[in-house]
Structure 1
Amino acid sequence: MFDHLGFGVRDIEASSTFFLAALAPLRVELVMRGPDGSVGLGRDGKPSLWLYETPTAPAPLHLAFVAESRAQVDAFHAAALAAGAQDNGGPGLRPHYHPNYYAAFVIGPDGHNVEAVIHRPA
């Protein structure tokens, strides 16, 4: 739905380390660094998520990333927790959204609710 998204973080190194570790199971990697110190993360050489260091605490966001399998959702959750995230809902079905909504949620270093989700049946 979006071409790219950017938002402010308090500590660019801590946040980029967290997102790279948490999203590695979804094949997200460091694509580029901007001249202003921003960090572009994405797949296949295209930055889709930009992190910018800001002097004030940003308002929390909800970020949902597409997973290609339920195993990727599980791996995202484990990787995010290992990278220091706070659990906000372990991997599992969320039938209140729809019968095949399989997701996991964590709170990242800036208070953002980060999700990995797949909508296909198992």
Structure 2
Amino acid sequence: MIDHTGLSISNPEAAIAFYDQALAPLGISLLATVPVEFTSGKVVVGYGRERPQFWLHEGERQTPPVHMAFTAASRAEVDAFYAAAIAAGGQDNGAPGLRPHYHPNYYGAFVRDPDGNNIEAVCHLPE
């Protein structure tokens, strides 16, 4: 339904380091960097699996913070995302586990990124 989306980051170096590490277990990597000549000198980068679908652009912190959920292929990927995001400096906002109040097979993990956004990995497959 949504082709691409993004959020504002206040510290590009910290955000890129966080997302490089946190999204790697999901098979998501940095795929595009827009030349600053086209961005009024601001850092703009795109992450994805096959094409950029999640964009970070330098600016003020989002207020209120944004919730962004990334699809995981398995519960093990959710666990790996959470471990990588915490190792990258993310703050725990909900350890990996079932959230049956959302859906019987909803397995997710939540971490706050360097700007306080609620970043999630979720798998809807049964074990």
**TM range, normalised to the smaller chain?**
over 0.9
| Stretches of structure 1 lacking an aligned partner (at least 5 in a row) | none
Could you list the runs of 5+ residues in structure 2 that have no partner in the other structure?
none
Matched, 1:100 2:105: yes
Equivalent position of 1:79 in the other structure:
84
Count of aligned positions: 120
The offset of 1:57, in angstroms, is 2.4
Identity %: 57
Match of residue 12 from structure 2: 12
Please state how far the C-alpha of 1:29 moved relative to its aligned partner. 0.6
Counterpart for residue 47 of structure 2:
41
Distance 1:3 1:57 in 2: 23
SS in structure 2 opposite 1:103?
A: strand
RMSD of the alignment, in Å? 0.9
- Cα deviation digits, residues 47-80 of structure 1 (max 9, x gap): 00110111x3222100000000000000000000
Counterpart of 1:29 in structure 2 is 29
- Rounded to whole Å, the distance in 1 between the matches of 2:82 and 2:6 is 22
Question: When the two structures are superposed, what TM-score results if normalisation uses the length of structure 1?
Answer: 0.95
Shift of 1:13: 1.4
Measured in 1, the distance between the counterparts of 2:9 and 2:52 equals 17
Match of 2:73 among 65, 68, 73: 68
Q: Name the aligned partner's letter for residue 23 of structure 2.
A: L
Provide the residue aligned with 1:53 in structure 2.
58
Using the TM superposition, give the Cα deviation of residue 98 of structure 1 relative to its aligned residue in structure 2, in angstroms.
Answer: 1.3
